[in-house]
Amino acid sequence: MHHGETNHLNEDEIIGRIIAGERSLYEVIVRKYNPYLYKVGRSYNYSHDDTEDLMQETYIDAFKNLKHFEGRSNFKTWITRIMLNNCYRKKEKSSFKNEISDEDIDEKQTPLFSNSDYDTAKQVRKDELKLIIENALSEVPEEFRMVFSLREISGFSVAETSELLNISESNVKVRLNRAKHLLREILEKSHEIPELYEFHLIHCDPFTSKLMDRVHELHNHN
């Protein structure tokens, strides 16, 4: 079945067909959720490469547990929770090694914020703004940064964010306000209050085909 023919299927139907054995349809799910999971990893201040590793781990975990998904919450929330748990576990592991997250800053890292239209003069300016926002956001303490990322960047509702982070809805609102306040303060210090740009997972195609190779290898375990 060509993926273009899946447009009329809803997500539950696609998941049902994957569970029934059409594992190539998992690519539809992967492409849909790449941008969301990428934002989560980068908002945790992980590098591009570490984020891709965590995403791959998350998609494999989700694939192995699809039968247990049961549609009990929405899939976006379910898979984001798996990604959050993987990010948290990695942080716990690395804290034992006293790793410094800044030590592997890579000049060629994919920016957290990127824009698809390309006009060289404008793009130079936009790239500067993206870096300013990304750096500012990384300075916001994690408890506020994650609420900001889920609510403002990934578009989760207050209720979903509350469920994902295991905090009350009123706490979500308080933390979001605090995050915005801190972000504004940091941006004002750099004399910039730019608008936020959409994310794009630049290496989407190679990432997805590599992941789907892994999924196809899993058939003996499912």
Rounded CA-CA distance 216/31 in Å is 16
- Which residue from 123, 124, 136 is spatially nearest to 189, judged by alpha carbons? 136
Rounded CA-CA distance 17/178 in Å is 43
Rounded CA-CA distance 103/141 in Å is 18
Q: Cβ contacts of residue 211 below 8 Å, gap of 6+?
A: 30, 55, 56, 59, 60
What single-letter amino acid sits at 12? Answer: D
- Alpha-carbon separation of residue 156 from 69, 125, 147, 151, 202 (angstroms): 19, 29, 9, 5, 22
Q: What is the pTM of this model?
A: 0.70
The CATH architecture assigned to 3-107+120-221 reads Orthogonal Bundle (1.10)
Rounded CA-CA distance 67/95 in Å is 33
How much is the pLDDT for 187? 78
Tokens in use for 147?
């609420």
pLDDT along the chain (222 residues), means of 10: 64 91 94 93 91 95 89 85 93 63 41 49 63 82 93 90 95 94 82 43 63 75 48
How much is the pLDDT for 124? 61
Rounded CA-CA distance 163/157 in Å is 10
Question: What 3-state DSSP class applies to 209?
Answer: helix
What single-letter amino acid sits at 16? Answer: G
- Which residue from 101, 60, 7, 1 is spatially nearest to 215, judged by alpha carbons? 60
Rounded CA-CA distance 123/145 in Å is 26
How much is the pLDDT for 159? 95
The ranges assigned to domains in the chain are 3-107+120-221
